[in-house]
Amino acid sequence: MTISAHPNLSRPLNVFSREFARNKYEYYRLLREHSPVHKGKLAVLDVYLLSRYDDCAALLKDPRLVRDRSRLSGKTGGSKFPLPLPRTVQLMGDNMLLSDGAEHRRLRGLVHQAFTPRALAKLESRLEALTHELLDALVGKSQVDLIPAYALPIPVAIIGEMLGVSASEMGQFKNGLTVMSSGLSGAGLIKTLLWDMPELLRLIRGLIARKRAASDDDILTGLIHAEEDGQRLSEDELLSMVLLLITAGYETTYNLIANSVVALLTHPAQLAWLQVEPERLSTAIEEVLRFSSPIQGTKPAYATETIMIRGIAIPKGAMVAPLLGAANRDPAVFEQPDDFRIDRTPNKHLGFGQGIHYCLGAPLARLETRVALRNLLERFPELRLAVSPSDLKRQHMPLWERYESLPVLL
């Protein structure tokens, strides 16, 4: 097999391109069929793209591939990033996402203590009240954009409460979430790096200082005081973990809620079935995570030695990225993979990854989405799109599936 076995793949495929973003599911099919191990591009960087389910699942558990790029040199203290980045951005990498081995286990063990069933149970009661407050505000309206009116405020409020953000800080906190969501690309990048990110970090440092002196019952306080083998998170690790919470808990969740609504409203027979049998909601959410997961690819990993995959040698030091969105449509694993079916079981999707980097916040994302969808569909059973599906605009974010807006009729 050659990596240019199809004319559309005769050149390295750049997954950061608008062409790929507009037609990603077609490119996923071409990659799976003609170039399952494809030497492509992440912007200007060379990367090996994996698109078949078995290869992606194996990659996520292969100890020969590491997230922390500095481990390639065998030295400590090196950069985890392939390009020079400001310290404010590098802080985003000093967390579990870009760590491996014993360091990853230490960080995950500390953070896991803050996500106990008791903490999630407390959030569920708050979620019930919050979603009904937001839905009450929609009563009497004929058309709304469901993202700013409903999907987005839910994780904003929940993450804020997890971190103990005060009412007076909420405006600055919301701005920080916007920065984390969309400010690291495009024309606003310079402003983000020079002003918005430092402002957000100042807010987080202030929160940490306040929580150190208090005995509040929130997740940030739990992170500050969590210990494993006598060790606690350092100041920079705390900052990075909060940024990770914001990215994962906010970005993933509001897009999962929005993508779930789109999937159901564009498959009316499945929606009607769910309304008759609401107990299928959990499996419906799992199907959204397979069919149109917000996260279409994970952080790249680096080969610590030459690795052979399907007859192609991936050299030591090369960057490798699993295309989760492609794996989740692999017909070798999923029957009729391009069909959205709320009764799909088993459903071994990779929407939250796999292996040691499996998303720690997956239970929280599922909880928020389940409560949000259940109450939305109960309160507004005639919910439908206000535009044709082809007029829904997706955001151009590499390896994400997310919408700019979601206009609906109530």
The pLDDT value recorded for residue 120 is 78
Q: Where are the beta strands (DSSP E) in 51-137?
A: 65-66
Residue 401 inside a domain? The answer is: yes
- Number of Cβ within 10 Å of residue 403's Cβ equals 20
pLDDT per residue of the chain (410 residues) written in tens, 0 to 9: 343 456 577 789 999 998 898 899 999 999 999 999 999 998 889 999 999 999 999 999 999 988 777 667 655 555 555 554 555 555 555 555 555 555 656 666 666 655 667 777 878 889 999 999 999 999 999 999 999 999 999 999 998 888 888 888 888 888 777 766 655 554 444 455 555 677 788 888 888 888 888 777 777 887 787 755 567 778 887 887 787 777 767 888 999 999 999 999 999 999 999 999 999 999 999 999 999 999 999 888 999 999 999 999 999 999 999 999 999 999 999 999 999 999 999 999 999 988 766 677 788 889 999 999 999 999 999 999 999 999 999 988 888 899 999 999 99
Scored b (16 or more CB within 10 A) or e, 288-317 reads bbbbbbbbbbbebbbbbeebebeebebeee
Tell me if the pTM is above 0.85: yes
Contact 407, 138 (CB under 8 A): no
Residue 246 inside a domain? The answer is: yes
Residue 64 inside a domain? The answer is: yes
Distance (Å, whole) CA 70 – CA 31: 30
Q: How many domains does the chain have?
A: 1
The pLDDT value recorded for residue 1 is 35
Residue 1 inside a domain? The answer is: no
Residue 2 inside a domain? The answer is: no
Residue 141 inside a domain? The answer is: yes
Distance (Å, whole) CA 314 – CA 48: 8
Residue 395 inside a domain? The answer is: yes
Helix H or strand E encompassing 50: strand 45-50
155: Cβ contacts below 8 Å, ≥ 6 apart: 249, 250, 253, 254, 368
Q: In this structure, what CATH number is given to the domain that contains residue 34?
A: 1.10.630.10
Residue 310 inside a domain? The answer is: yes
State the residue range of the domain holding 258. 7-409
